[in-house]
Structure 1
Amino acid sequence: MPHMAIEYSANLDAKVDMNELCALVSRTILATGLFEPGAVRVRAFRTEAYAIADRLPENGFIDMSFRIGKGRSAEEKKRTGEAIFAAVSEHLASLFTTPHFALSLEIREIDAELNWKKNAIHPRLRGK
């Protein structure tokens, strides 16, 4: 863990390169130094059906949901969220020039007792 899920309105396809956005978010997460590279997952999901605010067709959104395991202080979580939100906001600055875009980020901690994982990537990246 950490896993970032980016949900976005389909009308952003022509405006945002989602592969590039995922790579930016991944780099930003890793730059915090709080997470192992083998644990980071960033993925984007295109939403076909949505109704945003006053339902104008040009309204668009990106909602980022960041799930992390326990073990980081409140300050570390806040610093991580601020770094991700700032990087994405800067990357998407052109979308904020119109009154039709909404960006959100939420960080959620996963309960370790209710979380199962098996990862063959860790040993390779750890050099073991």
Structure 2
Amino acid sequence: MPHLVILYTPNIEAETDLSALCRSLADTMLAHRDEAGKAVFPPGGTRVLAFPAAHHAVSDGGAAGRAAGGSGDYAFVYLNLRMGAGRPPSVVQAVGEALLGVVKQHFEPLLAQRHIGITLQVDEGAPSFDGKYSNLHPLFNKTV
């Protein structure tokens, strides 16, 4: 952990580079430092995954968008960052603001063309079960 999962309506897939967004978000997470200068997230555990919603309904189905002169083809992007508990609230707030800044910048051109709802939530806590199996962490824990 941390895992940032993005769910989005597939009607934006052809209009934006979601792989680039994932990379930018992961880079932002990996670059973030706490007040002591320590990395907030471990490189081996940081993941950003994006999935199109196979089925979706957004808002009023487009009526208000069409009435406002748009297509009524609404889009939605939901981002949920899950991370373990223990970070100070100021760090959680700073991470959330940094990630939202990346998302705003990424979608700015698309927001000028269509109606999009964007939500970012940060959830912090200990899972009831946390099973892990990976050979990624050793890549970053080697002594040189």
Deviation of 1:124 after TM superposition, in Å, equals: 1.5
What does 1:20-35 align with in structure 2 at a 5 Å threshold? Answer: 20-32=20-32, 33-35=39-41
1:6-28 deviations in Å (ceiling 9; x for gaps): 00001001111111111011011
- After TM superposition, the runs of 4+ consecutive aligned structure 1 residues lying more than 3 A away are none
Structure of larger gyration radius: 2
TM-score after normalising by structure 2: 0.82
Aligned residues: 128
Partner Cα distance (1:113, 1:100) in 2: 38
Partner Cα distance (1:114, 1:65) in 2: 19
Partner Cα distance (1:125, 1:99) in 2: 41
Higher strand share: 1
2:18 equivalent in structure 1: 18
TM-score after normalising by structure 1: 0.92
Task: Using the TM superposition, name which of 104-113 and 38-47 deviates more.
Answer: 104-113
Unaligned runs of 5+ in 2: 33-38, 63-71
- Provide the identity percentage: 30
Partner Cα distance (2:139, 2:110) in 1: 39
Unaligned runs of 5+ in 1: none
Partner Cα distance (2:61, 2:17) in 1: 24
What RMSD, in angstroms, separates the aligned Cα atoms of the two structures?
A: 1.5
1:42-87 deviations in Å (ceiling 9; x for gaps): 1000112111111125100110010001121100000000000001
